[in-house]
Structure formats: C-alpha cells, structure tokens
Structure 1
Amino acid sequence: MNFKVLILTIATFTVGLIELIIGGVLPEISRDLNVSIGTAGQLITIYALVYAIAGPTLLALTSRVERKSLYLWSMLIFTAGSMLAFWSPNYEVLFASRMLTAASGSLIVTLSLTIAVKVVAPQFRARVIGIISMGISSSIVLGVPIGVLIQEALGWRVLFLAIALLTLVAMLIVALFMERIPVEESMPLRAQLASLKNAKIFSAHLVTMLLLAGHYTMYAYLTPFLENTMGLNAYWISIVYFVFGIAAVSGGMIGGMMSDRLGSRRSILIVIGVFALTMFVLPLAVKSIWIFPIVLFVWGALSWALSPAQQSYLIENAPETSDIQQSFNFSALQVGIAIGSALGGIVVKNTGTVNMNSWVGAAIVLLSFLCALYSLSRPAVAARRVSKQAVHSS
C-alpha cells in the first residue's frame, strides 16, 4: 500500500471512531444524562448535519492554507472536541462537542480523499477510495464493539478520552511522515454549488444520501434493537458490532474491486438492490441464530460497498470538478446519516419499539435505487459540459 494512503487511512480511522461509537452506547448516555433514546440519537444527527455543511464550506474557506498544516490544525481541534465530550456535565455540552468534532472531522476526511486519489494511478482510484473508506469502517470493527465493553466497565466518557489520545498519536504520525502539500488552485463555493445543477450529478448524490438515510434509520438504533428483539447483553452486542465491522471493512475493499472490474454503473445497482433486500429481511432473521449472522454480515459489507463505485462514477462523469464532487458526496452521506438517525428516532417514538426501523429504512433504500436508475439514464456529455461551466463560473 502507498505509505501516504496508509497515513490518510489512519487519520480517517480516528474520525470514524467518534462518529460511529455513539450508536453503541446510546442507552448508557440516555440513562446517564437523563434523556430519551430518541434524544440521545440526535447526537448522531447533529454530528452528521454539521459534517455535511462544514465539509465543502470549510474546504472552500481554507483553500489557501497549506494542506499539511490544515490537516494538523483540524486534528488539534478534533482532539479538543473529544476532550470536551469526555468532560461534558450535561447533554447540551456533549451536543456542542459533537458540533466541534464534526466540523474538524469533515476536513480530515475530505482532505484524506482528495489527496489520496492524487497519489495513485487513475486505474486504482476506486480501490484507494475503498481503502480510505476502510479507515472509517475499521473504526467500527475496533471502536464500536470494544467501546461497548469499555463503557460497561468504565463508563462511556472514557471512550472520548481514548479517542483524543488516538488523535494525538495520528497527529504525530502526520507531522513526522507526511510532507508539505502545496495549495492548488481552488474553485469558489458558488462555482462548486453550480456543478450540482446537472441532474445526473445531483441525483447521484441523492443516491448516497437516501441509501445512508435508510441504513441509519436502523443502524443508529441497533443496540436497543438487539436488546429488545434478541435480549442480548453488552458482551453479545459487542460481538454483533464486531461481526458487522469485519463485514464493513470487507465491503469497502469488495466495493472497490467490484467497481474496477464490473464498472461503477453495474456495481451501484447491484449494491443498492441487494442492500434493500437485506434490510427488509433483517427483522425476520433475528428468529434464527443461524440466519441472523449471515444477514448481518451481508448488511455490514454492503453498507460500505457503495462508496468506491459512487466516487468512481462521479470522477468519470464530472472529471473537472471531481474533488468537489467527492466532498459533496461525503456531505450527502452525512445528510443521509442525519435524516436516518432523526427518522429512526421518530419511528421509535411513535411506535414505542425499534422493530419497525429496518422496514422503514428498506423503503428509503428503494428510493435510492430509483434515483440511481435516473442518474444512470442521464447523458454523460451534459454532465461534463456543466462541470466545465462550473469551473469557469465565479
């Protein structure tokens, strides 16, 4: 693996920890801060919303800042936000810490992606995007299941202290081994937004948003789902997250290889179609101790398999604004997480159970599939023409 890509993957790993670990400890946070599960779930929503807005906005505002310095400053702010979460005496302070880490984390991940695709040959772009995505999905494997066990023994606050320390280690690695990255000519934010006027590109971002919305309608509330439907304790819940995480890491790599071999168009349709079916089957699978692990693994793998194909698709169809489209796609991803976690909370509140969340999520994923069909049917030439117009508009 390219050493620079490895460094970028380590950085995204630390960011992934703080966003995703919340889902595994929602019941504990709910009890400790005396808020409902739905309210605790909004800690995921606010992180995702701030992340979505901050990604392209901060990238444009910091366009003249040398990239390594920006990387290190982002990590320092991220560390401060993690420490604030560790100290937080109430829900409001924890809520504020999530906004701080989301803003800085968005820059870390966006910079990781935009830099990574520049340090490898074009034919390996989808694969390297899969590797960067693996940095986040790896945090599921190690962070969420271990986090569930640690919070059981030491409380949920210790998790944020550990994340702060890991970020400091990542900062040291970046400072020592990543060379200075020159600033390239950037596109004004207004021109970035103009690139979304094309229906092919905009609907492609909707695909990501809706798929993640459907996914997080269920995934954000997986812990209470496992407690209610299967009666699992903290130990077994951590095992479930571990299996899911292994699948997610595999999915990032599988998605990258699938996109390289089958092409982005076929990969997108295959991943979304099977994903919707898996989410529909999930609540039924809990009745069988043999079927549930299989469905869980497929669900986990597909949750990260779409990203490489989507990013490759955007590079192919909007090459002049590919960096910007990668940023927007991760923003769409975060908007989806925000919508899904918020909608999941609404479903829980109105039904009094998490059992319906997966079916609601499956319906949203089907909408993603329809958006994919629409995007794929639009002419590619028009997308490139609009991209060029966006580059020259400011």
Structure 2
Amino acid sequence: MDPRIFLLALATFATGTAENIVIGILPDVAAGLGVSLGLAGQLTAVFSLTFALAAPAALVLTRRMERKTILALALALFIASNLVAALSPGIAVLFAARVAMAAASATVCLVATMLAVELAGPDRRGRAIGLIFMGISGSMVLGVPAGMLISSLFGWRSVFVALALLAVLILSVCQLFLPVSGRRPRDVPGYRRHFGALRLISGQLVSILMIGGHFVLFAYLAPYAVDAVGFDADKLVPIFVTFGAAGVSGGYLGGWLTDIVTPRTAILVVPLAYLAVLLAIPAASSMPLAFLGLMMVWACISWMISPVVQSFLISAGPDTAEAGVSLNLSAMHVGVALGTAIGGLALERGSTAALPWTGAVLAALAVVASLVAAWRVADKPRRPAIEV
C-alpha cells in the first residue's frame, strides 16, 4: 500500500476529530462561554448538519480544481476555523467557526478518498478506502479522549489550537509528498444520473439504514450497558475504548473484503452479518463477558459498511463515482441523525431493552436495500470514472 495513503488517513483523522471533540469538553465550553449545556451541545449538531450539506456541494464548487490544491485549501480553512474557535469571544463566533470547520472536514474526507483511490489503483481500491475510514473511526476512539486530556491540562481553547497545529503539520507534509493529481477539470457531477439508478440509491440506503440501526443502540450504549447488562458506570470508559478499537479495525476489514470477494458480494454479506449479531445482543446481555465479545464483533461490522458501500458505488456506477462518494458521506450523517432520533423515541416510550430490537428493524431494512442494490449488478470489476 502506498504510504501516502496513510498520510491522507491522518488528514481525515484530524478533521474527523473536530466533529465530536466538543462532546468530551462540553462542560468546559459551556462554562467558559457562559451558556447552557444544551446550547453548547448544538455545536456538534451544527457540525454534522453542515458536513452533510457540504460534501455534495464541495464536489460541485471544486470541479475545476486539481485535487491536491483542493486538499490544501480545505486544510487551510480547517486551520483558520480552529484558530477562530480558540479565540472566540462568544458562542455565536464559535458556531460560525464550527460551520467553516465542518465544510473543511467534509471536503478533506471527500478529496482524501478520491486521492487514495488514485494512489492505490483498482486492485487495492477497497483497502485504500478502508484506511481512510480507519482515520475517521480512529478520530472517535483516540481524538475525543485526547481532547479531554488536553482540555484538562490547558483549557478547552487549547484543544482547537492543537487541532490547528496538527493540521499545519499534515498540510506541510502533503505539500511535500503528495503528487499533483492527474485529473483534469471535471464536468458537473452526475447527481441526476446517480439518483436515477435504483441500484445506486439502494446502496446509499444501505448506509443510512445500517448506520441508523447502529446508532439506535450506540448513541445510548452507556445506559444500556448499565441498565440492561449490569456494568458499573465507572467501567464505561474502558468498555467504549474497547468497542472503538474494534470499530477502527472494521474500517480496514470492510475495504479488504471488497477487494477479496468484490463489492457486490460484500454489500450483501455485511448487512446480513450485522443483523445477525444485533439480534444476538439481547440474549448475550445477561452474560457480561459474552456481551463484551459480541459487542466487539458488532462494532467491527458496523464500521465495515462505509468502505463497502463506497467501493460498491464506485464499481456499480463508475460514471457517477464522485457524486456517489460525496452523497455517501452525507448519507452517513443522515444515518447517525436517524438512528439517534429513533433510539431516543424507543428509550422514551419503552426501555433500554428495546434498543437492540429497534435497531434490528433498521438493519433488516438495510438487508433488503442491499438485495436491491446487488440485483443485476455485474460481479466483475469495472474501471471507475475516477481513475487517472
């Protein structure tokens, strides 16, 4: 694997950390700016919403630009917005900085994926995408705890300074070692053609529904682990770190699987395996050790789906590959919002025990969508439109 792909994964790690970093330092931010926890919590919501909207827009706005240049400009915007966040005198300025931060993050994730595919070549495309998603998932496992540690030592504003400094380092190394992309200016992305293809829309639904099913439980995993399984609250941090580490491995394994068995087969296998594991969770909840082992498998499979779907979209719709990848980045955030909202309703109207069963309904719908997506799609590799 080209080592420069690891550099691109590091870029997605840095920008991905910015999305959830406020969760870990929320009380400090709220107290520092004199606002409520509820209002400060919206800093994460506005980031996710902006990210979902910015990913497709970035592809349109930058279609006449070379990819290395786009990456450099996006990292520069990320650096500037983090410095503004660090210096923000009030919540309004911090909200504005978060919007710019999210737009930059969406652009970095999109361009890093495309550059990774360029550098890897068709035979290692899936693994390249998997490495990029290891950067994204790693930001949730390592980035948030690191931010909490920095905040405890130097204050919450130093967290944004640290992100800016990391991005400066990444930008400098990218300028030195990344090649100028061989891509020429592109036409307007094929969003209309993408939306007109049932198999591609079904592939996007696999992401939304499976990630939604994941977040039905994951967003409320702490109360489930305490109430349904019986863990002590003081054991939740190592439990979450363990699950997170399993999730990081899933990002790479998903890409590896598509290279080994083809994206069409992978998009059929992964949702079905995820549904099976999710249905087994209630039975394992009475056995803490079995629950931990099963949840590690659950976390791993849940992170496999993004590289699987993106590889499928590239191979099944090569003429709309860039549009498909950008829309899939948005679909992931739609899934997070959908699952969190449905999980909250299930928790409010039922109990924590209802969460896995509710998530399984969405996962079952993801299996149906995967069958539709794979229907009549050729199993042989096809050369994507994003090749060089």
User: 1:373 corresponds to which residue?
Assistant: 371
Aligned length: 378
SS at match of 2:120: coil
User: 1:330 corresponds to which residue?
Assistant: 329
- Indicate conservation of the 8 Å contact 1:209/1:336, yes or no: yes
Partners of 1:288 and 1:22 lie apart in 2 by: 34
Partners of 1:194 and 1:136 lie apart in 2 by: 28
- Pairing of 1:166-315 with structure 2 (within 5 A): 166-189=166-189, 191-223=190-222, 230-233=231-234, 236-282=235-281, 285=284, 287-315=286-314
C-alpha deviation, 1:197, in angstroms: 0.7
User: 1:361 corresponds to which residue?
Assistant: 359
SS at match of 2:119: coil
C-alpha deviation, 1:8, in angstroms: 1.1
Partners of 2:152 and 2:354 lie apart in 1 by: 27
User: 2:36 corresponds to which residue?
Assistant: 34
C-alpha deviation, 1:187, in angstroms: 2.6
SS at match of 2:274: helix
- Indicate conservation of the 8 Å contact 2:29/2:156, yes or no: yes
Partners of 1:161 and 1:251 lie apart in 2 by: 30
C-alpha deviation, 1:346, in angstroms: 4.8
Partners of 1:76 and 1:49 lie apart in 2 by: 21
Question: What TM-score comes out, normalization by structure 1 length?
Answer: 0.83
CA distances 1:167-208 after superposition (whole Å, capped 9, x unpaired)? 12211211222233355231314x423322111111111111
- What is the identity percentage for the equivalent residue pairs of Structure 1 and Structure 2? 34
Partners of 2:5 and 2:217 lie apart in 1 by: 31
Gapped regions of structure 2 (runs ≥ 5): none
Structure with more contact order per residue of length (Cα contacts < 8 Å, sep ≥ 6):
1
- Indicate conservation of the 8 Å contact 2:13/2:135, yes or no: yes
- Indicate conservation of the 8 Å contact 1:64/1:183, yes or no: no
C-alpha deviation, 1:356, in angstroms: 4.4
Partners of 2:344 and 2:247 lie apart in 1 by: 24
C-alpha deviation, 1:70, in angstroms: 1.8
Partners of 2:357 and 2:150 lie apart in 1 by: 31
Give the residue type in structure 2 aligned to 1:47: F
- Describe the shift of the 1:24–1:356 C-alpha distance in structure 2 as closer, same or farther (beyond 3 A): farther
CA distances 1:323-371 after superposition (whole Å, capped 9, x unpaired)? 22222222211222233334445555x3497664444333222211111
Give the residue type in structure 1 aligned to 2:37: V
SS at match of 2:244: helix
Q: Which moved more, 1:308-317 or 1:196-205?
A: 308-317
C-alpha deviation, 1:59, in angstroms: 1.5
C-alpha deviation, 1:103, in angstroms: 0.9
- Describe the shift of the 1:224–1:290 C-alpha distance in structure 2 as closer, same or farther (beyond 3 A): closer
CA distances 1:211-244 after superposition (whole Å, capped 9, x unpaired)? 12222233334456556663423xx433223212
Q: CA RMSD in A?
A: 3.2
User: 2:136 corresponds to which residue?
Assistant: 136
User: 2:73 corresponds to which residue?
Assistant: 73
Partners of 1:157 and 1:356 lie apart in 2 by: 39
- Describe the shift of the 1:196–1:380 C-alpha distance in structure 2 as closer, same or farther (beyond 3 A): farther
- Describe the shift of the 1:288–1:165 C-alpha distance in structure 2 as closer, same or farther (beyond 3 A): farther
SS at match of 1:118: helix
Give the residue type in structure 2 aligned to 1:368: A
SS at match of 1:188: coil
